[in-house]
Structure 1
Amino acid sequence: MSLLNQVDLNSLVVFAAVVECGGFTAAADRLGVAKAKVSVQVARLEAKLGTALFVRTTRKVSLTDAGRRLHEECKPLLHGLQEAIDQVGHDEGMLAGTLRLTTSVDHAVQSLARAAAEFAARHPALQIDLRTGDRVVDLVEEGIDLAIRLGWLRDSSLRAVKLGEFEQHLVASPAYLARAGRPKQPEDLAAHDWVALMLLPTPFTWKFSRRGETRTVQVKSRIRVDSPGALRTMLRQGAGVSVLDQYSVQDDLKSGALVRLLPDWSLPRAGIHAVYPPGRHVPPRVRQFIDFYRAWLKPA
């Protein structure tokens, strides 16, 4: 008899829950069972496989090399099985299960949260789990179906669909400009107080273009932030000059809280990307949301 026939599928589900929750107690809470049952299932799986899957200490549980390999191989298969089970009993074309999305806090507030709410209204059997944060999360490790990322992609191991583009605007507050003066050409920025967004791949190098002419400027910064929201607040307070995307800065430009600088010069356009984990299977809920959100982002 093959080893596959001897392994209980439930034990694999329990094993995956322990990995994703980071411990036996949290996994038991998610599964709605006693912690002792989780321990027994994992112990049985380890006995069948003839190897330890976890290293247990009084403070934490971590995977062994064998456990890591098993999780990497089984996770997409279990997700695919869950997808099939979720769809059973629903009308053809009706989405079910859970769609786990992530994006930056600013983009969620400006766009994605409203779009996700409308998508959920169209698909009442579907659950939405929207997670926000300015750090780039590991989609596989955190079980995310789809990330909406703005800017330039770094991780080539992931799959991505470009949904659109946006402009970048050089801005500062009227109070800062009254104190420091207005730059008249890109080179003037080297003498200004720059507030750097460290999430960018090159936060201190900027390329400006105008009618076929290109100028590259190196800036220096004594104030650095890791959040577009914090950057916008700093700029409104007169901390210096920086670049914001057209979506997050549009209200401040209308109100006069920020002023666009060097409008005759343009910065490289950045992209809005739908990013999802590697693997052959893309659930229908992910495919349909990508199409929906691409249409949502297009101007009316």
Structure 2
Amino acid sequence: MALPGHIDLNDLVVFTAVADAGGFSKAAQRLGVAPAKVSLEVARLEARLGTALFVRTTRRVVLTEAGRALHDDCAPLLRQLHAAVEDVHATSTVLSGSLRITAPTDFGAHFVAPALARFAALHPALAIELQTGDRIADLVGEGIDIAIRMGWLRDSSQRAVKLGDFGQYAVASPGYVARAGLPRAPDELAELDWIALTRLPAPLKWTFTEAGGASRTVQMRARIRTDSTGALRALVLDGAGVSILDEYSVRRDLASGALVRLLPEWTLPSGGTFAVFPPGRHVSRKVRAFVAFYQEWLGKDGAG
């Protein structure tokens, strides 16, 4: 398909893939073509536009100012075009193509992967990739369709759907409680061995609210710090001290008695579970289908 000025739409698709992937080889792998073909089509596009779109070094490929402007304008339009064509092409029951999802490491393993297994069984023509990690992924640059995130969205401009809420609990092992004693008020938590999750914006300052509406803010002193929810849970289970964990992480531990919820008459601010989408106006049918499925799964199977 030729655009005004003899620009081929396929060249723009290849250009966008290189910009998003950060290199010719990665773009070629994502597109399923030879790297030489990618280089040829980018060079052809640059020749037709009369300007360089990339600065090529031995280690990486960087957009020029003109390349950045072209990418900013074209990438959202190409994503919308691709999703729109995909929706029209799809039947009412068959989902096909690929679906790439990212989620926090521990939550992804325990509460996204099981849902994906069921979703994949319902849609055998759909190729699914789950990436887990506690860093914030670049949705556009990494070609992510959905990011599952927990907590509070700091950027109000993000396109997101709230999947549900979760509680936060102060917890400890029965052995630690037996040694240190059971706290009777939030202030007493500051006297215990505190384990801090450093990924939180304020891991040592917590506000507890009583059923009657009274609130108490407590400043903790960390004996141990970690950046992993899984490591935090393991430390608490092994009796290293007290901390606050989301209800997803400790639901089974509380039911089995492996952990004890402290101060159950006091509540902490609840967090949210969100599906975050890349910028753009069109959300594809496969993405909408998974979000609807996962929202229901979290409310039913995911609660068990």
Q: TM-score, normalised by structure 2?
A: 0.90
Q: Does residue 241 of the first structure (1) align with residue 242 of the second (2)?
A: yes
Q: What is the match of residue 54 of structure 2?
A: 54
The separation in 1 between residues aligned to 2:119 and 2:165, in whole angstroms, is 22
Q: Which residue number corresponds to residue 35 of structure 1?
A: 35
SS of corresponding position for 2:176: helix
Deviation string, structure 1 residues 129-167 (Cα, Å, up to 9, x no partner) = 211111221222222111221211112221122221111
Q: What SS does the aligned partner of 2:4 have?
A: helix
1:31-69 CA-to-partner distances (Å, cap 9, x unmatched) read 343333222211111112222111111222111222222
Residue of structure 1 equivalent to 2:285: 284
Between the aligned partners of 2:29 and 2:75, the Cα distance in structure 1 is 20
Which range moves more in the overlay, 280-289 or 250-259? 250-259
Name the structure 1 match of 2:251: 250
Alignment partner, residue 217 of structure 2: 216
Question: Closer, same or farther in 2 for the Cα pair 1:18/1:296, shift >3 Å?
Answer: same
How many aligned residue pairs are there?
Answer: 299
SS at match of 1:183: coil
Residue of structure 1 equivalent to 2:150: 150
SS of alignment partner, residue 39 of structure 1: helix
Give the whole-Å Cα distance in 2 for the aligned partners of 1:7 and 1:132. 38
Cross-structure match for 2:265: 264
User: Which residue identity is paired with 1:70?
Assistant: L
Counterpart position of 1:12: 12
Residue 99 of structure 1: SS of its match in structure 2?
strand
Shift of residue 178, structure 1, vs aligned partner: 3.5
CA–CA distance in 2 between the matches of 1:216 and 1:224?
20
Distance 1:207 1:277 in 2: 33
Kept in 2, the 8 Å contact 1:157–1:278? The answer is: no
Residue 106 (structure 2) pairs with residue 113 (structure 1): no
The one-letter amino acid of 1:236's match is: L
| Contact 2:14–2:41 (Cα < 8 Å) also in 1 | yes
Residue in 2 that maps onto 1:176: 176
Q: Provide the C-alpha distance between the structure 2 equivalents of 1:95 and 1:16, rounded to a whole number of angstroms.
A: 25
Letter in 1 for 2:272: G
Among all aligned residue pairs of Structure 1 and Structure 2, give the percentage whose two residues are the same amino acid.
60
CA distance in structure 1 between the partners assigned to 2:89 and 2:187 by the alignment: 64
Confirm or deny: 8 A CA contact 1:172 1:236 kept in the other structure.
Answer: yes
Q: Unaligned stretches of 5+ in structure 1? A: none
- Unaligned runs of 5+ residues in structure 2 are none
Q: Is the 8 A contact 1:102 1:132 kept in 2?
A: yes
1:107 deviates by 1.7
How far off its partner does 1:170 sit? 0.4
What amino acid is aligned across from residue 124 of structure 1 in structure 2?
P
CA distance in 1 between counterparts of 2:275 and 2:191 reads 37
Q: Secondary structure at the match of 2:33?
A: coil
Q: Give the AA of the match of 2:217.
A: T
CA distance in 1, matches of 2:32, 2:102: 26
